[in-house]
Amino acid sequence: MVWETWAALGGQAWLTAGVVVMVLLVLTLTEQATDLVLVGATTLLLLAGVLVPREAFGGLANEGIMTIAVLYVVVAGLDATGATVLIAQKFLSRPRTITGALGRMMFPVTFISAFMNNTPVVAMFLPVVNDWAKKSGIPASKLMIPLSYAAVLSGTVTIISTSSNLVVDGLLRQARGHGMHIFELFWISVPITIVGVLFVVLTHRWLLPARQSVAAPFGDPREYTMEMLVDPDGPLVNRTIEQAGLRQLPNAFLAEIDRDGEVLAAVPPQEKLRPNDRLIFVGVPDAMVDLYRVRGLAPATDQVFKLDAPRTRRALIEAVVADGSPLVGQSVREARFRSVYNAAVIAVARRGERVRRKIGDIVLRGGDTLLLEAPTAFVQQHRNSNHFYLVSRLEDSTPVQHNRATAAIAILIGMIVVASLEWLSMLKANMLAAGLMIATRCCTTAAARRSVEWKIILSLAAAFALGTAMEKTGLAKAIAQTLTSAAGSSPLLSLIAVYAGTLLLTEMVSHGAAVSLIFPIALQTAANLGLGYMPFVAAVTVAGSLGFATPLGYQTHMMVYGPGGYRFADFLRIGIPMDLLCAVIAVTMIPIVIPFRPA
C-alpha cells in the first residue's frame, strides 16, 4: 500500500520533494535570508508548472497571514503610546539572571495564551520583550524563541487558543456530529506546558544563542550629554533611581542630578527622585532615544512644546555643526533654534568630551553634534545647508504619546475580547483595532506603513505556497500514510505514528493544513483497529499545535525570527528536543486521559 502510494506520485511531486529538501538544507547550512530562499523556491515551482499564479501568491490572501500583517499596526500603536512599557511594568521587572528573566516572561505568556489566540499574545509582548531585553542587558536571542514557545505551549489548554484546534473541532463536527468542549485536552496540555517551560528555562545556556546587537562604544564622538526633567505629575516622583529603571541603562549612565541648583554627583541607586529634578545623562544616540521615551521624564528645555508641528510628526535628528556655520560661537540659547530652524536642541556631543553646562548655556563649536527634536521635514530642508555638515534622522525616534496609552490598551483588550467571543473573526477584529489605532492618533499612517515586517509576511506567504504544492501533488498525503502504516496493529504505535505524521507536516506545511490532511487518516486508523477515535483526534490536535523545530512550524516563530536575529539552525537546536519532549508527554498522557476503548 505504501509503495503503491509513492509509486503513484508524478514528476511534479518528486520535484516538489526536491525543492523542499533544498530549502531545508539551504536554510540550515547557510545564512541566506529566509524570505529570499522561500520566495525563490516558490518561483521555481511556479515556473515548473507545479503551481499556478493563484496558488503561488495565495498566501498573500490567506486570512491568517493577513491577520499577522494587520497586527503589526496594532503593535505600532501600543509602541508609539508607551503602552508596551506599562504592560512590561505590569508583568515583568528587572531580572538578575537570564534564567529569572525567562521564568518571569514565560509563565505569564503561557497563562494568557491558554485563554486567547496565541498570535496576538506574541504580537503584544514582542515590543515589550524587545525593550525589556535592551534595558536589562539580555540578548534578545535569549528571549524571543522562549516568547514564541511559551505562547505555543499552552495552545491546547483550551480549544480557542490555537486556530488549528478550531480546524480539528470543525472537522470532528462534520465527520461525527459533535465537537470538543473547551477544556477537552486540559490534562494533556498542562503537563506539556509546565515541562516545556522548565525545559527552556533550564537549558537556555546551551540551546539558545546569545547574540548581542553591536552597540556604539562609549567614548565615541557621538556620546551625548542630555538633560531630562522629572515630570512633577509623572509616575517617577518619589521613586528611587533603581525603581525608576535608571540605574543600569544600556550604553548610558546617569551622571548627576541638578536639584534646585545643588548638583548631586555619583548618584546612589537609592536616591529618590523629586519633582523638577534635572537629570544629566551621558550615552550613545540609541540610549538617548530610549530615555526620551521614558514615561515621567520630559526634555529639560521647554522649547519642544513650542515647535510648530504635532509631536506625532516629529523625530529626533542628528545635525553636525559646520565649521563655517553662523551657529559657531553662539550659545544654544542665543542661536534661537526654535524660531530659526523650528527645532529644539535636547543634547550635545563634542568628540568624546563631556560638556558640563546646561544645554542653553553651551557655546557651539564646529564639529559639535546636536540631537534635535524637530519636524521630520527638517532633514529634507537642511540636508544641503551650509550650517550643517550632516543631517540624519534617528530610527524609531518619534516622541511617545503617553497620554494615549490608556486608549491603546483599551483598543487591544477590546480586540482580544471581540475575537475570543467570536463576535468577529480574528482578521476583522484586528483590522478594526488597527483602524482605531490610527483614528485615535495612537499611531500615524506613516508609522503604520513602516510597522509591517514585509520580510516575515513574504516568508509566510511563500511557505504557504510550498505547503500548497505538497498537498496538490499528493506528497503530503504520501508522507502521512507512510508514517501511519508503519505502526501495524498496535494502538500505541498507531497513536505515535499519527502524532509524528501531524508533527512532521506541521513543521513543513502550515499547521492548519497538517491537521486537515492527517485528520481523515486518524479516523481511518482508529476504524482499522476497532477503537474509538478520540485518542487519535487528540493526537492530531496536540501535534498540530506544538511544532517547535522550524520557524515555518508556527506563525509566531516567524514573528520572533527577525527581532531575535535567529538563523534556521537555531530553531533546530532547541526545537528538536522540544518536539521530542512534548511528543513523549503527549503520547503518554493521551491514553491516560482518553483511554483506548472499543468502537
In the chain the domains, ranked by start, together with CATH numbers, are 11-210+455-593 (no CATH), 224-283+296-393 (3.30.70.1450)
278-283/252-259 β-pairing:
antiparallel
The separation between CA 530 and the C-alpha centre of its own chain, rounded to angstroms, equals 45
Contacts 24+ apart (CB under 8 A), 99-105: 99/201, 99/202, 99/204, 101/132, 101/136, 101/138, 101/142, 101/143, 102/142, 102/143, 102/146, 102/200, 102/201, 102/204, 103/197, 103/201, 105/129, 105/132, 105/143, 105/146, 105/147, 105/150
For residue 134, how far is the Cα from the chain centroid? 14
Helices and strands per DSSP (H, E), number in the chain:
24, 9
- Contact criterion met (CB below 8 Å) for 42 and 56: yes
**HSE-CB of 159 using CA atoms within 13 angstroms:** 17
Beta-strand (E) ranges in 376-507? 388-393
Sign of CA dihedral 4, 52, 517, 454: positive
The whole-number pLDDT of residue 213 equals 43
For position 280, what pLDDT does the model report?
86
Q: Which position has the grid cell 501531524?
A: 502
Which spans in 486-552 are helix H?
A: 491-508, 511-529, 534-545
User: In this structure, what C-alpha cell is assigned to residue 208?
Assistant: 539558545
- Mention every residue, 6+ apart, whose C-beta is less than 8 A from residue 375: 307, 308, 309, 313, 314, 342, 343
pLDDT attached to residue 591: 96
Q: What are phi and psi of 227, to 5 degrees?
A: -105, 135
Q: Please identify every stretch of the chain with a pLDDT value under 50, giving residue numbers as ranges.
A: 213-221
The residue with cell 502550515 is 510
Q: Check the CA dihedral 124-130-136-141 and report its sign.
A: positive
Q: Judge whether 45 and 469 are in contact, CB under 8 Å.
A: yes
Radius of gyration of the chain (CA): 28
Kind of pairing between the strands at 388-393 and 314-321: antiparallel
Backbone angles phi, psi at 153, to 5 degrees: -55, -40
Distances (CA, A) of 141 to 58, 79, 112, 146, 564: 31, 20, 22, 9, 4
Contact at 8 Å (CB) between 368 and 323? no
Distance CA 539, CA 534 (A): 9
| 8 A C-beta contact, residue 133 and residue 146 | no
50: three-class secondary structure by DSSP: coil
* 319-348 CB burial, b ≥16 within 10 A, e <16: bbbbeebebbeeebeebebbeebbbbbbbb
Residue 495: its pLDDT value, please?
A: 94
Sequence-separated (6 or more) residues with CB below 8 Å from residue 168: 180, 515, 519, 537, 540, 541, 544
- Please tell me the predicted confidence (pLDDT) of residue 217: 40
Task: Cell numbers for 126, please give them.
Answer: 514582542
Grid cell 544654544 — which residue?
A: 332
283 three-state secondary structure? strand
Report how far residue 480's alpha carbon sits from residue 495's, in angstroms, rounded to the nearest whole number. 13
Residue for grid cell 508524478:
10
- Give this prediction's pTM: 0.70
Paired sense of beta strands 388-393 and 252-259, if any: unpaired
548 contacts 570 by C-beta, under 8 angstroms = no
pLDDT of 215 reads 40
> Three-state DSSP class for 564?
coil
Q: How far apart are CA 87 and CA 89, in angstroms?
A: 5
Phi and psi at residue 26, to the nearest 5°: -65, -45
